């Protein structure tokens, strides 16, 4: 246990015996301090959209296919020119030092071990370079919250490029923080610094609330801003926080190299649809022009399968991996990825799909329960 500014960071390092990803939350709650846990687990307002994110997977059903003549399904996939062992990626989640003393460095290590893709957040507890080093050569993306300060944006993009990340994820759905009641109830302020914010004129984030943090970010974002980022960096830029065909087309029009469908895990606009329920409308609009990443609510191998069947190329997880980090550090994150990927393999076999590409051609039913 490490005390950082009065916040207890645990230092667990162990492989986890995982029954399922849902079960991790209760265990993680015991070891992450209340404020930090509340920040991680909660959504905005009355969390209707957060809950809808889970329920939505029940809106579609996988057709079991028994005579497909396949065995030993393979989860490896190539996206954005990267060879990955699994379509499951680490979503860019902020401030992982809240869960573990090693923060994103351990997450990167665990994800690398699982053969997945790591995405760093602008608001990471550890720096771009340190996190990148944690992954030991495994591919990483860097997520950018666009700042009002373009020097800062450029600085981060340069640093990301220098650290060897393979793409930029530009988050556009957080021009203001969602109304997160848990943080208000807990009087939550970030107890630990965000390494990348040191260059912000406003400081490193420590001792600030999430709304103050977001206040430094650009509130006004349009296609031109996306284009400006794209023009500056020679890394591919994926636009994250897309929930409509319109925004997807704007982003592609601005030169986006990928579309990231997400409602920020139900942490931003409450009263909006489940992310899974809009996925197909976006992938149809994108129409294979660029890869599509999906996150928000994924907990089961069947969820991953369903998202891919509706057109996602990569499927991100956030909270479950952070719980794995809290409970077991790098090995905990690895355990989470490995478990979820194993669930996915069972589903693939029973659905008669040998490859990730086969999943893309799988039919889902739409029966109402």
The residues carrying an active-site annotation are 264
d(C-alpha 318, C-alpha 333), whole Å: 11
Residue number with CB closer to its own copies (7 or 48): 48
CA nearest 236: which of 260, 256, 261? 256
Residue number with CB closer to its own copies (2 or 185): 185
**Interaction with its own copies in 283-312: which residues (CB under 8 A)?**
300-303, 305-306
Interaction of residue 346 with its own copies, rule CB under 8 A: yes
- The CA distances from residue 336 to 7, 72, 90, 114, 166, in Å, are 25, 21, 11, 9, 23
Residue number with CB closer to its own copies (38 or 329): 38
Whose structure tokens read 């022009």? 289
Tokens of 18: 């995982």
Residue number with CB closer to its own copies (106 or 243): 243
Interaction of residue 61 with its own copies, rule CB under 8 A: yes
Interaction of residue 244 with its own copies, rule CB under 8 A: yes
Taking CB under 8 A as the criterion, the residue among 6, 26, 30, 69 binding its own copies is: 69
Contact 343, 317 (CB under 8 A): no
Interaction of residue 350 with its own copies, rule CB under 8 A: yes
d(C-alpha 109, C-alpha 131), whole Å: 9
Angle made by CA atoms 126, 341, 92, in degrees to the nearest 5: 25
Residue number with CB closer to its own copies (90 or 278): 278
Interaction of residue 274 with its own copies, rule CB under 8 A: yes
List phi, psi (to 5°) of 284: -65, -40
Site string for its own copies, 185-214 (x = CB under 8 A): x-----------------------------
Residue number with CB closer to its own copies (15 or 184): 184
List phi, psi (to 5°) of 225: -65, -40
Interaction of residue 169 with its own copies, rule CB under 8 A: no
Centre a 10 Å sphere on the Cβ of residue 288 and count the other Cβ atoms it contains: 11
Q: Exposed, middle or buried: residue 189 (CB in 10 Å: 0-12, 13-18, 19+)?
A: middle
Interaction of residue 15 with its own copies, rule CB under 8 A: no
d(C-alpha 101, C-alpha 98), whole Å: 8
Interaction of residue 154 with its own copies, rule CB under 8 A: no
User: Considering only 24-32, 155-163, 239-247, 316-324, which stretch makes contact with its own copies by CB under 8 A?
Assistant: 239-247
d(C-alpha 207, C-alpha 61), whole Å: 45
Residue 181 C-beta: closest distance to its own copies, Å: 6
Interaction of residue 175 with its own copies, rule CB under 8 A: yes
Residue 20 C-beta: closest distance to its own copies, Å: 7
User: Considering only 62-70, 86-94, 156-164, 323-331, which stretch makes contact with its own copies by CB under 8 A?
Assistant: 62-70
Q: Can you say how many angstroms the Cα of residue 176 is from the centroid of all Cα atoms in its chain?
A: 18
Taking CB under 8 A as the criterion, the residue among 205, 241, 266, 329 binding its own copies is: 241
List phi, psi (to 5°) of 291: -65, 155
Tokens of 191: 């107890």
Residue 231 C-beta: closest distance to its own copies, Å: 16
Interaction of residue 351 with its own copies, rule CB under 8 A: yes
Interaction of residue 318 with its own copies, rule CB under 8 A: no
The answer for residues whose C-beta is within 8 angstroms of residue 365's C-beta and 6 or more apart is 60, 61, 62, 63
């Amino acid at each position: 246990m490490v005390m950082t500014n009065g916040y207890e960071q645990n230092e667990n390092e162990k492989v986890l015996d995982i029954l399922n990803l849902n079960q991790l939350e209760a265990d993680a709650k015991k070891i992450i301090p209340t404020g930090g846990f509340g920040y991680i687990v909660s959504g905005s307002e009355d969390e209707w959209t957060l809950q809808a994110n889970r329920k939505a997977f029940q809106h579609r059903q996988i057709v079991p296919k028994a005579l497909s003549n396949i065995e030993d399904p393979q989860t490896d996939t190539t996206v954005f020119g990267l060879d990955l062992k699994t379509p499951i990626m680490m979503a860019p989640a902020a401030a992982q030092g809240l869960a573990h003393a090693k923060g994103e460095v351990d997450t990167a290590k665990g994800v690398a071990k699982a053969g997945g893709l790591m995405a760093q957040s602008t608001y990471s507890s550890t720096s771009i370079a340190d996190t990148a080093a944690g992954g030991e050569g495994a591919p990483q993306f860097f997520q950018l919250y666009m700042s009002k300060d373009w020097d800062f944006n450029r600085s981060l993009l340069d640093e990301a490029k220098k650290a060897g990340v393979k793409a930029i994820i530009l988050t556009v759905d957080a021009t203001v923080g969602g109304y997160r009641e848990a943080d208000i109830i807990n009087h939550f302020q970030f107890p630990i610094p965000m390494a990348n914010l040191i260059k912000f004129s406003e400081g490193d984030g420590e001792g600030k609330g999430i709304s103050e943090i977001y206040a430094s970010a650009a509130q006004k974002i349009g296609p031109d801003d996306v284009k400006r980022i794209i023009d500056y960096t020679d890394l591919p830029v994926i636009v994250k926080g897309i929930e409509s065909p319109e925004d997807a087309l704007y982003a592609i029009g601005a030169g986006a190299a990928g579309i990231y469908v997400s409602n920020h895990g139900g942490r931003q606009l409450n009263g909006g649809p489940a992310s899974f329920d809009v996925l197909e409308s976006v992938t149809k609009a994108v129409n294979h022009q660029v890869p599509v990443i999906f996150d928000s609510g994924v907990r089961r191998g069947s969820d991953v399968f369903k998202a891919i069947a509706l057109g996602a190329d990569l499927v991100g997880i956030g909270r479950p991996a952070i719980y794995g980090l809290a409970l077991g550090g790098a090995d905990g994150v690895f355990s989470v990825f490995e478990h979820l990927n194993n669930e996915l393999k069972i589903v693939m076999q029973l659905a008669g799909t040998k490859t990730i590409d086969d999943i893309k051609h799988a039919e889902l039913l739409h029966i109402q329960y």
